[in-house]
Amino acid sequence: MKIAGVVANLSILLVFLVAALMYAYDEPLYYLSVQEDEYLEWATFWAFAVAAGIYCIDTWRQFTFSRQLPWFVFGLAFFCFLVAMEEISWGQRVLGYKAPDYFLEQNYQQELNIHNVIDTSVRRRVMQIILLGYGVILSALSVWPPVGRILGRLRIVAPHPALIVSFLAMVVVYSWYPWNHTGEWVELTMGFGFAYAALIPTQSVSSRNSKSPMRMVVIVIAAVWVLAALTVNVVRYAHAVDPERVQQAQREIEALAADFNSGRLHTRCGIHKRIYTFVRKYQQPYLLEGEFARLLQRSGDAARAEYFLDPWNSAYWIRHNCSGGRTAKIVYSFGPNRRRESTEWELKGKDIGAYLEATQ
């Protein structure tokens, strides 16, 4: 049991070490790794999905053993399933369907997920409470026999005390936020943490399968990363280039570029936003009646025009960077593979875009 806890904790700490090294020594690779539909996001999905599956099995075992619904374990299974699906926006980018209008309007990512509708500060506080309350406080209290007996009667299952190190590390890193997109790495470790909590049994849960937890921890680590790699490559292969939609996106990009180059729109250095967000935040309503809007209205795609969506129902973006006398202004779409491949200064990969005029 002790060895399983050590392996679990080391795997969590290793994730943070890799993130720190990448951020310090290979920043382009770091930013590529935190993009949507890359290995990190799919590993997070699979970590929570595997945890949900383990908790579902555990729910059934406890129910057949005691004939009482293990409500807490079932709640953990549901929570992990919900987080897994939220992580991939319920398959929206994979399948390319248009999100309901409410999410296009209220979700700053214009995707079908609930967590990005909630204010960022609230979302971060809730995550800290979950990590600290479930992974650290509940686990520590469960060691005290009177509390342990109460938790047992209430059918509340705490993580094994050995995992306090992992959950405490997540709380510290998430509160410290040492790197941009730190939350993406904490979400991954959180998924692993819940999976480990389901695998490493506590003394109060005799119905769990406690055989070789260390072996199961290693299998989960390997399975998550193998499944993530397979998913990334399968999704990329499945998103075959559609010449007709590519041409359509190119025409729309040209229209957006004409709107931005008209002199009626103004950007500033440091902007990198979805165009819908740009229009709302910086009050640029001209785009709603410009060349892009007219083009889509003529083609019968007024709904996409309202939310500045490309033919794959992903957002169009505006990027304006300035540094050392260098300027890059780009409007672009992720293209048929629905993943960002461009850098801060250049259009790359299958991204479809145009460079704007250097003036303004």
**In the prediction, which pLDDT does 7 show?**
94
**In the prediction, which pLDDT does 338 show?**
84
Separation of alpha carbons 164 and 141, rounded Å? 11
Separation of alpha carbons 164 and 134, rounded Å? 10
- Six-digit token string for 202: 């506590």
End-to-end CA gap in the chain: 63
Sign of the C-alpha dihedral computed for residues 302, 308, 310 and 313 taken in this order:
negative
**In the prediction, which pLDDT does 160 show?**
94
Distances (CA, A) of 42 to 45, 230, 239, 333: 5, 10, 16, 21
Within its chain, how far is the Cα of 54 from the centroid?
A: 21
The β-bridge partners of 78 are none
Separation of alpha carbons 320 and 270, rounded Å? 6
**In the prediction, which pLDDT does 249 show?**
94
Long-range contacts of 146-154 (CB under 8 A, 24+ apart): 148/204, 151/204, 152/204, 154/72
Task: Tell the burial category of 25 from Cβ atoms under 10 Å away from its Cβ (0-12, 13-18, 19+).
Answer: exposed
Per-residue H/E/C for 113-142: CCCCCCCHHHHHHHHHHHHHHHHHHHHHHH
- Six-digit token string for 125: 């506080």
Which of 332, 334, 325, 317 lies closest to 358, judged by CA? Answer: 325
Q: Are 130 and 159 in contact (CB under 8 A)?
A: no
pTM over 0.75: yes
Q: Are 325 and 285 in contact (CB under 8 A)?
A: no
**In the prediction, which pLDDT does 209 show?**
47
- Six-digit token string for 227: 């499944």
Which residues of the chain are under the pLDDT cut of 50?
203-210, 360
Separation of alpha carbons 26 and 15, rounded Å? 15
Helix 182-199, helix 164-176: angle, nearest 10:
170
Helix 39-66, helix 71-87: angle, nearest 10:
160
Q: Are 274 and 315 in contact (CB under 8 A)?
A: yes
Separation of alpha carbons 304 and 286, rounded Å? 16
Q: Are 351 and 330 in contact (CB under 8 A)?
A: no
**In the prediction, which pLDDT does 108 show?**
65
